[in-house]
């Protein structure tokens, strides 16, 4: 079953809960071994004030500079559907940007976010080893046009092993709220292992397999960070507000991780008919539409 035909607003109501909000730790120094144990059980942990207001403002300025064409060599920008098919004027382009990738070589302020010692220290404590950035994205959900990112597991995109050695981090640059599309997670879902993903509204878990009754919302103030396991089920509803919801996402891989070949990845994310994941562009395997999900 797919809810795609029902529209964004109904999907936001059916597939997400808004009555159970997670309360982050107040600061990185508050992290204890008990919290680390909870992270391993739940698959996620959020901490407030990991980054200062100056650092957040610098990151926002860095993104705006790149969007405006401040570095002509940077082109890794994806627009929302409302901005496609035309080229928005430079002064309005930011209102349509959905995603940016591989930006740290192009702005020192964004690079500094990924390398902040107190931030990396939390990552390595949760992973239990030294780690390095394996992927970087800016996830921008503009007012009104910012679409849902359906429920998924990030490991469905990565040719890395083991999954326990890959950690996602999501840094709020604006107030992330129920109205503008903050992160939602299913606690403990990482323990169910890799699950087949299909292409519907995006590469995603099938709508009917989302445990909506277990959904926990993770609102964050600017500078707060959500740390999450690579197999955790998570998603973000559309931005229904007048406010921006910008975030940086860095994935870290433990030094004990190894790259795996497409066949090994396909064996992890598969159903009875074959590969069902999000890395078709790497595996050379065609994307599987939701219509090809076994009944």
Backbone angles phi, psi at 131, to 5 degrees: -150, 165
Asked if the structure places residue 182 within a domain, the reply is yes
281 or 209, greater pLDDT: 209
Asked if the structure places residue 290 within a domain, the reply is no
pLDDT band at 97, cuts 50/70/90? very high
In this model, does residue 115 exceed pLDDT 80? Answer: yes
Per-residue pLDDT tens over the stretch 219-274: 999 999 999 999 999 999 999 999 999 999 999 999 999 999 999 999 999 999 99
Q: What is the pLDDT of residue 86?
A: 66
Asked if the structure places residue 291 within a domain, the reply is no
237, 240, 244, 247: CA torsion to nearest 10: 0
Asked if the structure places residue 272 within a domain, the reply is yes
Of 12, 2, 1, whose CA–CA distance to 237 is shortest?
12
Rounded Cα distance, 19 and 13, in Å: 12
Rounded Cα distance, 249 and 183, in Å: 12
Q: Which CATH number belongs to the domain containing residue 73 in this structure?
A: 2.60.120.620
DSSP line for 13-79: HHS---S-B---BSSGGG--HHHHHHHHHHSEEEES-SS-HHHHHHHHHHHHHHHTTSSTT---EEE
- Angle at the Cα of 96 from the Cα atoms of 91 and 99, rounded to 5 degrees: 115
Per-residue pLDDT tens over the stretch 45-88: 999 999 999 999 999 999 999 999 999 999 999 998 765 666 76
Asked if the structure places residue 288 within a domain, the reply is no
Asked if the structure places residue 113 within a domain, the reply is yes
Q: Give the sign of the dihedral formed by CA 232, CA 50, CA 250, CA 289.
A: positive
Asked if the structure places residue 140 within a domain, the reply is yes
In this model, does residue 212 exceed pLDDT 70? Answer: yes
Q: What is the pLDDT of residue 84?
A: 62
Asked if the structure places residue 292 within a domain, the reply is no
User: What mean pLDDT, rounded, does the chain reach?
Assistant: 94
Q: What is the pLDDT of residue 287?
A: 83
Q: What is the pLDDT of residue 91?
A: 66
Identify the H or E element spanning 137.
strand 131-141
Q: Which domain covers residue 48, as residue numbers?
A: 4-283
Domain count, the chain: 1
Q: What is the pLDDT of residue 83?
A: 56
Of 195, 191, 217, whose CA–CA distance to 207 is shortest?
195
């Amino acid at each position: 079953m797919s809810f795609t035909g029902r529209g964004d607003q109904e999907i936001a109501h059916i597939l997400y809960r808004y009555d159970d909000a997670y309360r982050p730790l107040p600061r990185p120094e508050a992290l204890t071994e008990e919290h680390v144990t909870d992270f391993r059980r739940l698959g996620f942990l959020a901490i407030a004030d990991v980054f200062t207001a100056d650092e957040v403002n610098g990151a926002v300025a860095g993104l705006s500079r790149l969007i405006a064409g401040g570095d002509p060599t940077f082109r890794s920008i994806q627009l929302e559907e409302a901005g496609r098919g035309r080229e928005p004027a430079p002064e309005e382009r930011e209102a349509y940007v959905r995603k940016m990738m591989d930006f740290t070589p192009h702005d020192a302020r964004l690079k500094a976010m990924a390398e902040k010692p107190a931030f990396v220290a939390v990552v390595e404590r949760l992973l239990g080893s030294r780690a390095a950035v394996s992927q970087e994205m800016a996830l921008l959900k503009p007012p009104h046009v910012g679409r849902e990112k359906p429920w998924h597991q990030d490991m469905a995109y990565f040719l890395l092993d083991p999954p326990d050695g890959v950690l996602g981090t999501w840094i709020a640059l604006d107030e992330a709220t129920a109205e503008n599309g903050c992160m939602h997670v299913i606690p403990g879902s990482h323990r169910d292992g890799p699950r087949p993903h299909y292409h519907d509204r995006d590469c995603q878990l099938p709508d009917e397999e989302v445990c909506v009754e277990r959904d926990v919302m993770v609102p964050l103030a600017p500078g707060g960070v959500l740390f999450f396991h690579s197999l955790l089920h998570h998603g973000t509803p559309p931005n229904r507000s007048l406010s921006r919801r910008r975030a940086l996402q860095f994935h870290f891989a433990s030094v004990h991780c190894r790259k795996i070949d497409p066949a090994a990845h396909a064996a992890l994310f598969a159903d009875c008919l074959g590969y069902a994941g999000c890395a078709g562009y790497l595996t050379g395997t065609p994307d599987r539409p939701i219509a090809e999900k076994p009944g």
